[in-house]
Amino acid sequence: MEIAQAFFAASRGGDIGALQALLADDIALYSDGGGKRPAALVPVFGIERVMLLFRKLAQILAGTQPPHVSYGYIDGLPGFVTQEADGVPQSTALEIRDGKIAGIYVVRNPEKLRHLAPTALQ
């Protein structure tokens, strides 16, 4: 779970150097907003493209933190669930290979997360 905590801290805190150190060169990021929440429309492959995305997100999210975060396993992968500022949950699961994050799976689609009661994240 340490890698999930380090990823959360670096990605949400804007520490781009620390974030890049956690990622494999052939990283793949998949996100699902279900057309209801912002998300990448296609998978993002490679450390350069993933880092570009996180740099842009750091600018957009500067100074904001989700009100709640819960660490655990998601489909057997270390990760976390956050309750975002708009009250909607988001899950992030991390595939680990050789000590680095090789896959990031973000679900933002509220229909796929409705089983997560808001009180479960508090």
- The tens digit of pLDDT for each residue in 9-32 reads 898 888 889 999 999 999 999 998
- Segment (H or E) for 10: helix 2-13
- pTM value is 0.87
Residue 3 pLDDT level (bands cut at 50, 70, 90): very high
pLDDT at 64 over 90: no
Domains plus CATH for the chain? 2-121 (3.10.450.50)
- Looking at per-residue confidence, does 67 or 63 come out higher? 67
Cα 116 to Cα 20, 24, 66, 89, 110, distances in angstroms: 30, 30, 16, 7, 9
Tell me if 122 sits within 8 A of 87, measured CB to CB. no
Q: What burial letters (b/e) apply to 78-91, b meaning 16+ CB within 10 Å?
A: bbbbbbbeeebbbb
